[in-house]
Structure 1
Amino acid sequence: MNTSAVDQLFEQSKERSWRNASEDALLDFEFTASDPESLEGISHDPPPDEDPEIEFRYDMSGRGAKVRCVYCKYQNHYRGIVVRYPSGGRRLVGRDCALNHHGVEFEQHLNDFDAAIERQGYARRRRAFMAACAQIFREFQELKADPAVETHDRLMRQWRDGFLDLAPALINVARRDERLTITRKERDEAAEKLRKQRLGDRFEEERQKAKAAGKTWQIYRTVDEDLGSLGGALFFIGSVSVAKRLDAIQASVQQVFRTLSGDDLQSKQISGCFRKLAELRDELARELNRLDALAEAFDAGNLARIARWANEQAAEEIRLKAVLENRKAEPISARFTTDGQSISDRAGPRTVTVSLPTVYRPAPRTLLATLKAASSIDYEP
């Protein structure tokens, strides 16, 4: 640290109010002393009877040796502040001791000092983000032009337009985070036998009463068959295209950019922008996850489970209706069929097929990484 430069800056700002300091002034100031004990004018003598100014903070916990406080007279803390007096001397003081010895007015100075450090950090993040904006918006264009986006959105439209009853059924499964389960009703002969034993001589009388009332006399039990989880749930849930979502996210990032372009923004304004950027990164990550989910949704095994689930659920409804009406169920052919990464619906006058291209690569996450880096205080464009 250049002590003479620090002294000069300190002399120029004795009457400074950190609260009103410009962003440029904050960025030019070094708030942390890396070796406070070597600063010129440091002394362990009792402080002079003068009003001190807060010059630096320090944190020596990394070296494992505590620093001596001028008021405590022994090494009892790692973190503290350097105070400087109008006569030129400096002292090392623990924060608590500084407050105890210098009172309420000094506490306000310390709060202003801390707020200035925070504001400096936000200012650095703001400038780093602004420096990265050209790269960010270039990568937005690259992402929106990636073939994965068009492929996803085209298949989403085909799926929703082509499978008018399967699509909403899978939306419910995906939103509830349920598994693909076939529910069947089967005659519970054991329960019927127990009922007959319980009723004894009244069995036939009770059966005729149920028949006259139009009630089902047979006892059924529910049996569930778990086919497995639904892969690529984000694909089935989606309703708005990835392209539209990327346009909306880019527009919101541009709005943050316009806000951060203002002069001398306060910490609250900058922090609000970075909170918004964090939300937008999460939204972007979800869209990238949707692109990733497409391959899982059209995995051959996943499509086969979906087709079986849909076919057997429909067949069960037809079978159960026939049983309740005491008639033989009509044969039912498989409506949904699969072939690798393709699924077809043969119910209508023409077969509807939706297929994942042979070569599909999810979009790279370059933009997401750039946004995260540009929002970090350590980012260097």
Structure 2
Amino acid sequence: MQTQTAAIGGEQFEGYWDRLSDEELLRISFTTDDPENLEGLVLQVPSVKERPFVEFAYDFRGSRRSKIRCAHCKYPNHLAGFVIKTDSGQRFLCGHLCGAKIYGADFAHLHKDFSHARDRAGYLRRVQGLREALPGFMRYLTQLRSDPAFDLYDRTRQTLVTRMPRLRGALQVAIDRGGGTLSVDENVRDFAAEGRDEDRYDREMEEWNRTTVTERKKLRRQGQQPDKPRKPLYKSVSRPIGTVATKTLFSTANSPRQVVEDIAAQFANLADDPVKQMSAADKLAFFGYRGKQDAQGSQWRVLVGFGDTSNKGMANLLKQVGILLDRLEEQVERLAELPSFFQPRTLSAVASWATAAKLAGTYTAGLNSLVFENNHGQTVAAQLPPEFKVPSVSGIERLRLAMREGT
């Protein structure tokens, strides 16, 4: 860790936390649940010539615990704060709002050293958890990549896309524009329009009756006499008949298998060369794709190795692994769209909607199947493979847990 200094009482002191190794940081607890009974606790702020540092933090906000006495306030005014310790072993309590009042701007240095060390210990534990869980996760990835669900998904989707092309395009439009709502247009009686037409006729008749017989004859010859109310009048309305929740099943995005292969390659690179630094090519790819998105709307990331052990480097690694795990889970969720589409209620709605929309033929919902008869009498069917099963995400959850809790 880089050594920093803090100015206390006009003197420069090396930060306590910067003198500790990573191994020492991993053995330290940065919080206490009993600050008032620590050894060496004093009630007054010691001389500023001592070399204090923030040793622990405590936070009982939201609990029913009584407030804690602060060495600055000299009264129990706080539920959150810090334990500050001097090199001579004295400790005193400082409320979280009073540090700056005791040390002024210098408290920012004391707290920064503590926060940096606490954050570092957390990152070290999480990265260590990632290291230790990575071999098991790689075994899970191997099983996931060979899962038959990917082939079954691709084959069934291909049947829907190639043999029912009009359906595929119309469904994707419904998903993109209407959130998956399937609606058909129907003509319904427009009673409001009929009422307005009757009012129009009454007004015209009042004017007609005020005219003379000669004027009426002239208006008749010109075809300007009042028209009787028109009944019935109809209007076209859109009636929802169901929804489809398959966001990507009919899209042109990369297949789940392709995305999983890309993610697996990055994890394999990390597992094979865990201490590598980001190469020039990786940097070019990482910064070149920053801000860009893939077909599913998620940003690409190039997974760097464990080589950068700074707080920022470890945070970046953990963040990138988290993003890739999210993307990996999304692919399993995409596979789950297949059985969702073949649910009886969804199939029935799709068949009714597609037939009413005249998508090149007649559609019929069967048992876990959709049958299409085109205008030439040719019939094709797409069905959910009986052996299809959505893969488990347990390996993803285990790695997330290891990264969250560390060791």
TM-score, scaled to structure 2? 0.70
In the superposition, relative to structure 1, how do residues 17 and 47 fare at CA in structure 2: closer, same or farther (>3 Å)?
A: closer
Which position in structure 2 is the counterpart of 1:226?
A: 240
Which position in structure 1 is the counterpart of 2:185?
A: 183
Is 1:367 matched with 2:395?
yes
Which position in structure 2 is the counterpart of 1:3?
A: none
- In 2, distance between residues paired with 1:64 and 1:203? 96
| Bigger helix fraction | 1
Judge conservation of contact 1:179–1:230 (CA < 8 Å) in 2.
yes
In the superposition, relative to structure 1, how do residues 288 and 203 fare at CA in structure 2: closer, same or farther (>3 Å)?
A: farther
- 1:292 CA drift (Å): 1.8
In the superposition, relative to structure 1, how do residues 139 and 122 fare at CA in structure 2: closer, same or farther (>3 Å)?
A: same
Aligned pairs (5 A) from 1:1-381: 15-16=14-15, 18=17, 22-45=21-44, 47-59=46-58, 61=60, 64-176=65-177, 177-184=179-186, 194=197, 221-237=235-251, 239-253=253-267, 258=274, 259-262=304-307, 265-314=309-358, 335-347=362-374, 350-376=378-404, 378-380=405-407
- 1:168 CA drift (Å): 0.8
- 1:68 CA drift (Å): 2.4
Give the match's secondary structure for 1:137: helix
Query: After the TM superposition, which of the residue ranges 253-262 and 359-368 deviates more from structure 2?
Result: 253-262
- In 2, distance between residues paired with 1:364 and 1:100? 55
- In 2, distance between residues paired with 1:20 and 1:276? 30
Which position in structure 2 is the counterpart of 1:10?
A: none
Query: After the TM superposition, which of the residue ranges 65-74 and 124-133 deviates more from structure 2?
Result: 65-74
- In 1, distance between residues paired with 2:86 and 2:352? 82
Give the match's secondary structure for 1:139: helix
Give the match's secondary structure for 1:225: strand
- In 1, distance between residues paired with 2:235 and 2:103? 80
- In 1, distance between residues paired with 2:361 and 2:222? 41
- 1:172 CA drift (Å): 0.8
- 1:202 CA drift (Å): 7.3
Structure 2 spans left out of the alignment, 5+ residues: 1-12, 209-218, 225-231, 275-303
> For residue 221 of structure 1, what is the amino acid of its counterpart?
K
Judge conservation of contact 2:138–2:267 (CA < 8 Å) in 1.
no
TM-score, scaled to structure 1? 0.75
In the superposition, relative to structure 1, how do residues 203 and 289 fare at CA in structure 2: closer, same or farther (>3 Å)?
A: farther
- 1:128 CA drift (Å): 0.8
Identity of aligned residues (%): 26
- In 2, distance between residues paired with 1:203 and 1:84? 108
- 1:241 CA drift (Å): 1.5
> For residue 282 of structure 1, what is the amino acid of its counterpart?
D
In the superposition, relative to structure 1, how do residues 260 and 75 fare at CA in structure 2: closer, same or farther (>3 Å)?
A: farther
- The one-character-per-residue Cα deviations of 1:84-123 (angstroms, maximum 9, x if unpaired) are 3344433222243332222323421221211211121122
Structure 1 spans left out of the alignment, 5+ residues: 1-13, 207-217, 316-332
- 1:170 CA drift (Å): 0.6
**How many residues are paired up?**
337
Superposition CA RMSD, Å: 3.6
Give the match's secondary structure for 2:236: strand
Give the match's secondary structure for 1:358: coil
- In 2, distance between residues paired with 1:194 and 1:55? 83
- The one-character-per-residue Cα deviations of 1:233-263 (angstroms, maximum 9, x if unpaired) are 4423364211112112333445677535215
- 1:134 CA drift (Å): 1.0
Judge conservation of contact 1:33–1:56 (CA < 8 Å) in 2.
no
